[in-house]
Amino acid sequence: MSETAETPLYQEISRELPPQITIPEIKGEMVHLRPATIEDLPRLDELDAYYNASKITGKDEQAERAVVHAWVRRSVAWTQGLAASESGVGDPESRRTIAWAVLTDSDHDDDGHIDAQETDNVIGMIFLIDVDGWARSARIQVVLGKDYRGRGYSRDMMPRVMTYGFAPETAGLGMHRIWVAVPEKNTRSLSVYQSLGFVKSGSSRDALWDAENGRYQDLIVLDTLSDEYDPIRSLDAFGMHVIEDNPGMREALAAREHSIAIQQRRNESAEDHTRVSTNDKHMSRTDVDPATDTNHESATHETPVNGTVRASEPSDTVDGDSTWPYGQSERKPSKNAWWRNLGLSRKRDTEES
């Protein structure tokens, strides 16, 4: 395929973020998300949400608090249609931020009281930050109150936020890449992110100070791409259910069904090809006496090409316009499909940040 035939897919995507955004509410089974407000910020202090920040994000508590306040203000500014430079805490590269407050109305600790009543059910926040329209990239981060960590809330909300992030506009943000940055000592968060489909893409050496151990530590960068991420499988791996009303989920389900149909047609095409090949071989041998045919044994095998036996494969041109290639092994052969090992040897009670 020529270069000009490959590029339109990316040229058609707008590289400009909308000047104003309506942040959607997102439903989960354990939590639900609504747009964060300035009034939610004191609640994070009540929740002790910045406790142990140096271990979770690599920042000290005051720095973590300051950056969270900036993220919320940037998010509110975007919903008001203010330019990044007008928000008072803008980004010089005009990147944007979306902040959701995380709420729960359940009694998950079975103490007879609804969790987080004293903070109006707010237990933390989740962010898409560094939302870059040009690169179609965003970073995701979760901040939870001290007493609400390790209960599985991140597994409920992160796949749903990522589904919105990857969904095409106007159903979602239309991102190509979502990434995270995690201190190397935060092994629990690394495990959760990898189970969600993130792949380690690099590290910044000695980028953070580990005050607890008095040494520097690496910052690990992990990411996943729009054609690698399967929101349905990631929810299923954690025992969560699909909620079709959530933003981007109907598009994800439609893309999945389309991809499955493509794979089925490819399999059928491969089977038809095999049957035709077998019949042709059988017909070509009916008038030959096996006792006098010196090539009988070799005729039952594929002909080697450059010394390598090649098996029949379905054509790559069958519905080649799929942009959601679940099951297509020819895509990104350098990376193992993450869902092949998703959920193996994992426990539901693993703590996350």
Q: Where are the domains of the chain?
A: 17-243, 248-273+311-320
| Confidence at residue 312, expressed as pLDDT on a 0 to 100 scale | 32
Residue 53 CB burial class (10 angstroms; 0-12, 13-18, ≥19): buried
Q: Are 217 and 208 in contact (CB under 8 A)?
A: yes
> pLDDT at residue 317 above 50?
no
Residue 34: C-alpha distances to residues 48, 100, 126, 286 (Å): 20, 5, 10, 72
* Tokens 């007493």 sit on residue: 147
pLDDT digits (tens, 9 = 90+) for 240-258: 999 999 999 999 888 878 7
Hey, how many other C-beta atoms are within 10 angstroms of the C-beta on 77? 21
Share of the chain above pLDDT 90, in %: 45
pLDDT band, residue 284 (cuts 50/70/90): low
Q: How many CB atoms lie within 10 A of CB 307?
A: 5
More confident residue, 234 or 114: 234
| Mean pLDDT within 152-157 | 92
pTM of the model: 0.72
Topology of the domain comprising 17-243: Aminopeptidase (3.40.630)
